[in-house]
Structure 1
Amino acid sequence: MKAEIIEQVEALKRGTVEIFSEQELAQRLSEAAGQGRPLRVKLGMDPTAPDIHLGHTVVLRKLRQFQDFGHKAVLIIGDYTARIGDPTGQNTTRPMLGGEQIEANARTYFEQAGRILDMSEDKLEIRYNSEWLAGLKLADVIRLTASMTVARMLERDTFELRYKKGDPIGVHEFLYPLMQGYDSVMIRSDVELGGTDQTFNNLVGRDLQRLDDQPPQIVITMPILVGLDGKDKMSKSKGNYIGVTDPPGQMFGKTMSIPDDLMDNYFTLLTDLPVERIAELTDPSRTHPKQAKVLLGK
């Protein structure tokens, strides 16, 4: 295997949790290089809220890294799946959003994602999954659901917990991972990125691509950025977030409140600093935590 492919794999591995699988990634990169084509790297975003925070940027930065290596980012705006709402990590069924709210949220997503991604036409393709999901007939939906068992759905932590507690699970929520997986089939993705909480959904995409006689996408999972409270996933609803549109002074102030023991995580996921430099900045015996936060805040 060419040295440039090995270097690319090593760079893309940085900050990831799991790659399904690393060997497949190297092989797909090598094949694409031989064919003179870019990989199609998918990231799905449901516009369920109007703002992007630093937690969202972890996976956006990885997507940008693929762009910088010459590959094509395919940003899926889940305007159709947002009507269901991703059940991941939810103890109750999400309320369904209206079309106008989804459209307004999607517009702000574009503007904010543009601060990180290369928005040029040859590097980015933007698709709405209503393009193909809205036209599905009942026979198509039955075919999709036939590829999945209830037992496998209940393997998801979210559903398993609710089932054991006797809390309701909407049948429509079972459709969510199938629809997200179907997105991968329709855009013929080579790679899908997502947080660790999206692993189940992304692996469903691999299964559906196999059923469609497509090469299964490589799934790369990224860590969930812990919020300013040092406990929970960064979330606007929990108030433990730093928004990408926060005023500079407010963003800096929030950065200074990051728990000291999370600084390694923040530097690794939100900067391109070398590993050695991060080790130096997050070692209290070499750098005071306040100095490290000032640097991160800048």
Structure 2
Amino acid sequence: MSHPSDAADSPEVQADLQIVRRGVDELLVESEFARKLARSRATGVPLRIKLGLDPTAPDIHLGHTVVLNKMRQLQDLGHTVIFLIGDFTTTIGDPSGRNSTRPPLSREQIESNARTYYAQASMVLDPERTEIRYNSEWCDPLGARGLIQLASRYTVARMMERDDFTRRFKGGVPISVHEFLYPLLQGYDSVALKSDLELGGTDQKFNLLVGRELQKEYGQEPQCILTMPLLEGTDGVEKMSKSKGNYIGISEPAESMFGKLMSISDTLMWRYFTLLSFLSEAEIARLRAETENGRNPRDAKVMLASEIVARFHGQAAAQAALAAFEARFRDGAIPEDMPEVTLGGAPLGILKLLREAGLAASASEAQRNVEQGGVRVDGARIEDKSLQLTEGCYVVQVGKRKFARVTLRG
């Protein structure tokens, strides 16, 4: 079906595109998506916007919400959001960005994780306007015959264009045949759902493009794809990940969330504003200009932390978290001259960490500090003296005066 070019260039469509483009890494193909938006406005039929998440862990962190926020924006523009839980594909294991095969999860693990996924995603999405689907609906019935027919629609040469497969092949690292099935099945999800636009992180670009090609093979209009940047964790280096210990979970306590957000660097703060804040781009630019002209960056960081904590815990909890933070740091900020300590051997017990970071003179002193409630990690009071900290970057406080920024390595 052809559409007049002026409809895609209309002020309404361009306004929609401006919202969609914010914080985006790539929108492919933008001209096609503009035509889809114009058609939707002309017909009143909402676009079908797909996001697939594999429930590999039970909790969602702020890194996940980068793409969820974009879904919410599209939802607010009137389009249908499909929150797809990859309960079938998780049994295969997505090799994206990995140098080795990821072990698949058991059915029990997948079901346990999936139970919490949608509830947490609904803290960002409007549940009344969200279609929740599981890809086992169409993947289970495929059977061996259907899977072979699906595999016949994509070549090995095209599959080997994927960077991680190429690196592993050249490096002599084994690639199992089942790993080729993952992008095929993710692409088939788009066929089953008749997706108009699929979202994902930059590491998912290849898989999203497979969906576009498979839709052509099945006689459908190909989906556009939108990739969002991967959010760096609190260390400002690695992407946010629970396994790296640099994450901020959306269901963790308000005080802990607030403290972690206040611990990020002033530079990283602006990236968090762009990808996580609901302030307009103009408001963020104005705030940044003010900090460059003498306003304390801490003021902006408090605004960011307060906004995000309020989103997931409510305004009262955000105000209480701010009050608790200020009570801990009466001087107005975490000390600028905080010692930087790098330790190996992660996961590392909290008592050993306190000794090796120079925050406690002995094991007994470290234990006494924990038992008396005098130890905080990223603003959260530590009560478990057997706590093990994984790889990541942490602001560790003992009492009112002792601080260290501790980087843990494996």
Q: Quickly name the TM-score band, shorter chain normalised.
A: over 0.9
Q: Secondary structure at the match of 1:224?
A: coil
2:236 counterpart of 1:230: yes
Alpha-carbon distance, 1:157 to partner = 1.8
1:87 pairs with one of 89, 92, 95:
95
Alignment of 1:185-264 (within 5 A): 185-264=191-270
Q: Which runs of 5+ in 2 are unaligned?
A: 1-6, 307-410
Counterpart CA distance in 2 for 1:262 and 1:268 is 10
Name the counterpart of 1:8: 16
Alignment of 1:146-157 (within 5 A): 146-157=152-163
**Equivalent residue pairs, number:** 296
Q: Secondary structure at the match of 1:139?
A: helix
Counterpart CA distance in 1 for 2:73 and 2:224 is 16
Q: Secondary structure at the match of 1:137?
A: helix
8 Å contact from structure 1 (residues 80, 129) kept in 2? yes
- CA RMSD of superposed structures (Å): 1.2
Name the counterpart of 2:381: none
Indicate the percent of aligned positions where both proteins have the same amino acid: 56
Structure 1, 261-270 or 281-290: larger mean CA deviation: 281-290
1:26 pairs with one of 15, 31, 34:
34
Alignment of 1:33-182 (within 5 A): 33-120=41-128, 123-182=129-188
Instruction: Give per-residue Cα distances to partners, 1:16-40, cap 9 Å, x unaligned.
Output: 1111111111100111222221111
Counterpart CA distance in 1 for 2:224 and 2:267 is 32
Q: Secondary structure at the match of 2:180?
A: helix
Counterpart CA distance in 2 for 1:253 and 1:127 is 35
Instruction: Give per-residue Cα distances to partners, 1:241-261, cap 9 Å, x unaligned.
Output: 100011010001100111222
Counterpart CA distance in 1 for 2:210 and 2:159 is 10
Q: Secondary structure at the match of 1:25?
A: helix
Q: Which runs of 5+ in 1 are unaligned?
A: none
Does 1 or 2 have the higher relative contact order (CA < 8 Å, sep 6+)?
1
8 Å contact from structure 1 (residues 263, 282) kept in 2? no
Name the counterpart of 2:353: none
Q: Which aligned runs of 4 or more in structure 1 are off by greater than 6 angstroms?
A: none
Counterpart CA distance in 1 for 2:148 and 2:104 is 22
Alpha-carbon distance, 1:282 to partner = 3.6
Instruction: Give per-residue Cα distances to partners, 1:131-156, cap 9 Å, x unaligned.
Output: 01011122221222222222222221
Q: Secondary structure at the match of 1:117?
A: coil
Q: Secondary structure at the match of 1:166?
A: coil
Counterpart CA distance in 2 for 1:254 and 1:167 is 37
2:330 counterpart of 1:285: no
Structure 1, 273-282 or 108-117: larger mean CA deviation: 273-282
Counterpart CA distance in 2 for 1:230 and 1:169 is 31
Alpha-carbon distance, 1:272 to partner = 2.0
Letter in 1 for 2:43: Q
Structure 1, 43-52 or 97-106: larger mean CA deviation: 97-106
Alignment TM-score, normalising by the size of structure 1: 0.96
Q: Secondary structure at the match of 1:134?
A: helix
Counterpart CA distance in 1 for 2:135 and 2:76 is 25
Letter in 2 for 1:81: T
Counterpart CA distance in 2 for 1:70 and 1:276 is 24
- Return the index of the structure with the highest Cα Rg: 2
Instruction: Give per-residue Cα distances to partners, 1:102-125, cap 9 Å, x unaligned.
Output: 1111111111001000000xx211
Name the counterpart of 1:271: 277
8 Å contact from structure 1 (residues 88, 198) kept in 2? yes
8 Å contact from structure 1 (residues 264, 279) kept in 2? no
8 Å contact from structure 1 (residues 74, 125) kept in 2? yes
8 Å contact from structure 1 (residues 59, 195) kept in 2? yes
Letter in 1 for 2:285: A
